[in-house]
Amino acid sequence: MQRYSGFGLVKHALRHHEDWQRQWRNPTPKPGYDVIIVGGGGHGLATAYYLAKEHGITNVAVLEKGWLGGGNTARNTTIVRSNYLWDESAALYEHAMKHWEGLSQELNYNVMFSQRGVLNLGHTLQDMRDIQRRVNANRLNGIDGEVLDAEGVQSLVPIMDCSKRARYPVMGASWQPRAGVARHDAVAWGYARAADALGVDLLQNTEVTGFKIRDGQIQGVHTNRGDIEAKTVGCVTAGNSSVLAGMAGLNLPLESHPLQALVSEPLKPVLDTVVMSNHVHGYISQSDKGDLVIGAGIDGYNGYGQRGSYPTVEHTLQAIVEMFPIFSRVRMNRQWGGIVDTCPDACPILSKTKVKGLYFNCGWGTGGFKATPGSGHVFAASLAKGEMHPIAAPFSIDRFHSGALIDEHGAAGVAH
Ligand code: FAD
Ligand code: PYC
């Protein structure tokens, strides 16, 4: 891995930045690998990295139909928190949080993890009861959290309208101080560079078009660049997971929906924490660059277009302006959408399937970015050992037969 000194930066600037070394190789696919990961988003790349780093399995390929991190990983609004209600999900997201806290050092790549805290607002008595219950549960699980009243929220965010005049007055919030934001594409690039350095082949523009299955055992994949053999295949394809599952004759309980976000023109620093309201379907933070990062609830219909409908954006911006009248004249710069795969209990699927050697990691819905390092870590261990890691085990697809659902609709960041 090449590292650049200050002198190196000057040297490259003098050469018009023309001879930078690539951050990862562009290899030709081998005929076969020990493990294939389908999907080069954060979760797939993290899985490949931990397979190589922690399990010594380096004969691994990540197959990405587009470019690394071009899916939801670089489309999300980068909120990281671990304040989930149930023990199973609290363990999963807190496992990720502990990885976040050392990730820049681990990858030698600045992922700009900023623990600026997250507020989840309550606007009704029932919201506040749910918040109290969730914070109590968090504390029992060793996760930081506090319940704030409206005055407490106002003192953290002076520019928010916390008065009783608002259409949905703020009654209080849950506050997780260790939560925050990170730079999403740096997460993909950091894992990609580190996995490549350990020998993982990152194959972009390589689309999986089918699976080779014999006697109930995965043998490999069909791709637009030919067949590739592997006895272990992990699908980490977010919004496209039902399509991949269908290729293997599996039916996952997922719905794919558009989820939108938008950013404003850059402003001077005015908001130093993250504010989310499930009730009014809007959330907001300010990036280090100064733009307001704003997100919505899902668009209600199913679809694979990476865009959303205007009424959803309008509804969200109304909510934001009601909470922050100070932003009413701010102009929006860009809007985009991703495809999120939602599960009936608003929890992910990390699971074996009835095809031996074929695993799925999907169903993260609107909230998987925060889980990236933890998800990759436990999924890699599961693929390496052939048994689901104890933190991943409760998220098996068997729960939709047994009824052992983990209902996190209350903690999911945006309603879905
Ligand atoms: P992706 O990054 O989508 O990667 C999957 C990859 O699979 C894609 O690159 C895709 O091209 C590839 N692929 C698909 N089919 C194939 C195929 N046949 N062959 C090869 N490759 C294939 N989560 C949070 O925690 N906090 C947030 O603030 C947040 N905000 C969000 C805002 C928006 C607008 C959106 C859309 C999502 C948000 N999320 C958030 C959710 C989060 O982005 C996702 O849960 C997470 O990024 C999923 O990561 P991934 O690596 O599984 O998926
Ligand atoms: O899960 O925290 C979250 C989230 C915020 C915005 C979208 N998802």
Q: What pLDDT does residue 377 have?
A: 99
**Domain coordinates in residue numbering, the chain:** 28-115+179-254+343-416, 116-178+256-341
Q: Is pLDDT above 90 for 99?
A: yes
- Which protein residue has the closest C-alpha to ligand 2 atom 6? 413
Which atom of ligand 2 is least distant from the CA of 366?
8
- Interatomic CA distance for residues 86 and 109, integer angstroms: 32
* Of 349, 389, 351, nearest in space to 51 by CA: 389
Report the number of secondary-structure helices (H) and strands (E) in the chain.
11, 19
Residue identifier of the C-alpha nearest atom 35 of ligand 1: 76
Nearest residue by C-alpha to atom 52 in ligand 1: 238
Starting from the CA of residue 261, give the closest ligand: 1
* Ligand 1 atom 12, closest CA: 39
Give 7 or 380, the one with higher predicted confidence.
Answer: 380
Q: Are 288 and 132 in contact (CB under 8 A)?
A: no
Which CATH number, 3.40.640.10, 1.10.287.1770, 3.30.9.10, 3.40.50.300, labels domain 116-178+256-341? Answer: 3.30.9.10
For a mutational test of ligand 2's pocket, the pick from 119, 120, 369, i.e. the residue with the most ligand atoms closer than 8 A to its C-beta, is 369
Q: Give the ligand at the shortest distance from the Cα of 297.
A: 2
Closest ligand 2 atom to Cα of 118: 2
Average pLDDT value over all residues in the chain: 95
Supply the pLDDT for residue 285: 98
pLDDT reported for residue 7: 72
> Cα–Cα distance between 80 and 310 in angstroms, integer?
27
Cβ contact 232:383 at 8 Å? yes
Ligand 1: centre distance to CA 57 (Å): 24
- Tell me the CATH number for domain 28-115+179-254+343-416: 3.50.50.60
* Residue 193: per-residue pLDDT: 98
Ligand number, closest to the Cα atom of 119: 2
* pLDDT at position 414: 67
pLDDT band at residue 1 using 50, 70 and 90 as cut-offs = very low
The CA distance from 46 to 50, in Å, is: 6
pLDDT tops 50 at residue 231: yes
Is the minimum distance from the CB of 38 to ligand 1 under 6 angstroms?
yes
Contact 47, 39 (CB under 8 A): no
- pLDDT category, 416, cuts 50, 70, 90? low
Atom 47 of ligand 1, nearest CA residue: 73
Residues 6+ apart with CB under 8 A from 333: 262, 263, 264, 265, 291
**Which residues' Cβ are closer than 6 Å to ligand 2?**
77, 79, 81, 283, 295, 366-367, 413-414
Locate the DSSP E strands across 66-122. Answer: 79-80, 118-122
Q: What is the pLDDT of residues 197-226, one digit of tens each?
A: 999 999 999 999 999 999 999 999 999 999
Q: What angle do CA 389, 102, 196 make, to 5 degrees?
A: 75
pLDDT at residue 259, rounded to an integer? 96
Mutate-to-test residue for ligand 1 from 119, 236, 255, 366, highest number of ligand atoms within 8 A of CB: 366
Handedness of CA 3, 196, 240, 255 (dihedral sign): negative
What mean pLDDT comes out for the span 382-403?
98
Q: Hey, what are 101's tokens?
A: 């806290």
- Yes or no: say if 229 and 29 are a contact pair by the CB < 8 Å rule: no
Report which bound ligand comes closest to the CA of 276.
2
